[in-house]
Amino acid sequence: DAGVIQSPRHEVTEMGQEVTLRCKPISGHDYLFWYRQTMMRGLELLIYFNNNVPIDDSGMPEDRFSAKMPNASFSTLKIQPSEPRDSAVYFCASSSHGTGDTEAFFGQGTRLTVV
Amino acid sequence: RKEVEQDPGPFNVPEGATVAFNCTYSNSASQSFFWYRQDCRKEPKLLMSVYSSGNEDGRFTAQLNRASQYISLLIRDSKLSDSATYLCVVEDSGYSTLTFGKGTMLLVSP
């Protein structure tokens, strides 16, 4: 398996623009997580899905952020409108049976810069 | 709020040294604990799970103290390739999610 695949790897956009980040989890994994990483706050969980259903989105910073998982092999994280403070590395991760006793596999991340 | 606290470092050590990292966590109900490793500008990867009885994987030893809510990682005979950020990770009890510490940076020099 190729692992968790994220695109794009880098994104530079202007404030106010819509940004869409994409993720393909590992085949067969039931759980998909979106994290954001900054120097100040570290890795923060934004939202996670189980069997394509959003379970907890309490980490989503505000209404400008939305995430979908239309099928088991694809998820998107959208920011509209984007702001400079959204600049961060966004990671998607997947796992089987939750993360209590199984490894979470991360994608290589999308480095977002909002100018 | 769930917290996982780590010394950010950096820890600068020579090759061959032994180095130890610690972290504390706030959720006393947590049952699963891990150390992840993150190389510069890369994604986090699982290094090892942490068990109550302590566990060892080659040069790496992890310990858990539930009473003090404290986790440690010991690296013996440090290699240049051990240079990375080490993330202490705690399962959120009752959920299928993880809380990550901000990480401890290790720099191993020749």
The rounded mean pLDDT for chain A is 94
Nearest CA in chain A to B103: A42
Q: What are the residues whose beta carbons fall under 8 Å from the beta carbon of A111, sequence distance 6 or more?
A: A9, A10, A11, A89
pLDDT (tens digit per residue) in A87-111: 999 999 999 876 666 789 999 999 9
- Hey, what's the torsion of the CAs at A80, A91, B10, A115, to 10 degrees? -30
Amino acid at B88: C
Predicted confidence at residue A39, as pLDDT, reads 92
pLDDT at A65 over 90: yes
Please check whether residue A8 touches B, CB under 8 A.
no
pLDDT at B94 over 80: no
Q: What are the residues whose beta carbons fall under 8 Å from the beta carbon of B88, sequence distance 6 or more?
A: B4, B6, B21, B23, B25, B33, B34, B35, B71, B73, B100, B101, B103, B104
Nearest CA in chain A to B49: A101
Q: What number is the average pLDDT over the span B34-58?
A: 94
Q: What number is the average pLDDT over the span B57-62?
A: 96
Q: What number is the average pLDDT over the span A10-34?
A: 96
Predicted confidence at residue B1, as pLDDT, reads 59
User: What residues of chain B lie within 8 A of the CB of A56, using their CB?
Assistant: 95, 97
Please check whether residue A107 touches B, CB under 8 A.
yes
Exposed/middle/buried for A44, CB within 10 Å: 0-12, 13-18, 19+? middle
How far is residue B89's CA from residue A114's CA, in Å, rounded to a whole number?
29
Predicted confidence at residue A100, as pLDDT, reads 65
pLDDT at A44 over 90: yes
Give start and end residues of each alpha helix (H) in B6-98: none
From the centroid of its chain, how far is CA A7? 10
Exposed/middle/buried for A87, CB within 10 Å: 0-12, 13-18, 19+? middle
